[in-house]
Amino acid sequence: MSDYLPLARKFRPRNFDEVIGQETISRTLKNALKAGKIYPAYLFTGPRGIGKTTTARILAKSLNCSTGLSPEPCLKCDSCVEIARSGSLDVLEMDAASNTGVDNVREAIIETISLVPHRDRYKVFIIDEAHMLSTAAFNALLKTLEEPPPRVVFILATTEVSKIPPTIVSRCQRFRFRPLSIEILTQHLASIAEQEKIEADQQALFLLAQASEGAARDAISLLDQCRSANAGPLTETSVRNLLGFSPKETIENFAQALIEKNKENLAHLIFQAEEEGLDPAQIVKDLRAFFHEIYRSFYQPKITLKDPVENLKKKISQAALTFILKRLNAVMEDLRFSDSPFLSLELGLVGTLEAATDLSEWVKRLEALESRISQGKTSPPSSSAPAKILEESDSLEPLDEAPLEESSLSKPAGKTAHPELWTQFLASLESDKPALSAALAKAEVSKDSPKSWRLIFAQSFDASQAKKNLAFIQETLGKMTGNPVSIEIVEKVPARPSPDQDAAAESLTKAQQIFGGRVLKK
């Protein structure tokens, strides 16, 4: 039997000071221990491998150390040693993933909680992956958490706090553990490598920290794996090959093809990656990390890029970079459910290439087009449009001894030569026929004679409403004036847009489709 102790266990923190990246939590627990303010239940939440269960064991040591209640356990007494080995009779560790049922909770907790501690000061229950407990198990545990016996402490650890019932959460002091930054993990790995006499360059450790996705346990395990696989020093190349990272040159070539919008090079790179058996998902992850570093350098001046990457940064705007990162996220999502990964990769990257343009230029062009359309600063309308309006106008009789020209048709809706009578008429309709009143309120009213009226509408819908109720309108106005009234409904004919307006509107529509229908405004 091998006595080898994995690095992840060998360098597991033994006290609060050794827990990295969770200083706020460690300080809060240490202050509570100093003050003797021990809460009956704690809830530790956060991603895997960042110190939840380790901190729970350290808290148990601090509660039961033979030297007394202390934020700095001695680590030498029987209690500290047994808790570190998960062998203490008074500290029960329960894996909720394999003990989900109510019977497990009843047997392990409820039936033993009333018993006094065997030797130590507190009876501590550590429930790992607590979100895996069944609803019945949570209900059985609820009453115990609500009124726990003295000298009993519960510590629940979970990666999915949303699955913990609110009734349980409300009875715990909650601590949220955060993923560790790449910088902190790189420094921690460098410290371990120095203690273990592992030769590793900084970039290799950086890749290990990046691959761990914020989990200290994963980063240390990867370092252990790389040490076993390489007899010599750990380099960036050896780590890439071992962990399945895409070659650095390949990622830079992919990025250059996307930035320069070179479809031929991109197609060749995708074919070459397939021939070499590279993982499409890893390619997208590495590309995303590559572009993310450039993106962060736009607003974090402290980040320094290497010369090849700095040269690529000069060729792309921050807006275009944002767009590419969003598209890469979408490609990553497609790959999760695809049965043809390289096809999804090809479709995603080529689609990104076709739309990856300088968004700042699009913004300027769209703002100019919108300004021209809204202000009418385009070439004069074609002759066919005013000819049609003139034909409509010629067919009408003069209104109040003035010709009905296009300018009169484009007056603001609702103006009338008979405001008092028309206002009274509209007011009489508001209670019984509100829809008709609203439609007629938009009409321009003119009168050829006391018996001949004309209603001019800008919208077909309003004109249609008036036509449907024409007999009623004529009868009502006749009663109000004391004379029979004949009403003519006239609909404005809008001028056809000029070719420039057509082209501007078409460009605007196409651009909005590219950017997801977003309307750009000044």
Written as tens digits, the pLDDT of the chain (522 aa) is 457 888 999 999 999 999 999 999 999 999 999 999 999 999 999 999 999 999 999 999 999 999 888 899 999 999 999 999 888 888 999 888 887 788 888 877 888 887 888 888 999 999 999 999 888 889 888 888 888 888 899 999 999 999 999 999 999 999 999 999 989 999 999 999 999 998 988 989 998 998 888 899 999 999 998 888 876 788 888 888 888 788 888 888 998 888 888 888 999 999 988 888 888 998 999 899 888 888 888 887 777 777 777 888 888 888 888 888 999 999 999 998 888 988 999 888 888 876 545 555 566 667 777 777 766 554 444 433 333 333 333 333 433 434 444 433 333 343 444 567 778 788 877 767 777 888 888 888 877 676 788 888 888 878 888 888 888 888 888 888 777 888 888 887 655 555 555 555 566 555 555 554 444 443
Burial of 13 from C-beta contacts in 10 A (0-12 / 13-18 / 19+): middle
CA-nearest of 179, 175, 180, 99 to 140 is 99
Torsion of CA 73, 74, 75, 81, to 10 degrees: -90
Q: What is the pTM of this model?
A: 0.62
CA-nearest of 231, 235, 228 to 201 is 235
Contact yes or no for 154/42 (Cβ under 8 A): yes
| CA–CA separation, 114 and 150 (whole Å) | 9
Both tokens of 178, joined, read 């955060």
| CA–CA separation, 387 and 378 (whole Å) | 19
| CA–CA separation, 352 and 442 (whole Å) | 48
Tell me, what's the pLDDT at 423? 80
Burial of 340 from C-beta contacts in 10 A (0-12 / 13-18 / 19+): exposed
Tell me, what's the pLDDT at 79? 92
Domains of the chain are: 7-176 (3.40.50.300), 182-243 (1.10.8.60), 248-357 (1.20.272.10), 384-491 (3.30.300.180)
Tell me, what's the pLDDT at 520? 46
Tell me, what's the pLDDT at 401? 39
Strand order in the sheet with 173-176: 91-95, 123-128, 152-158, 41-45, 173-176
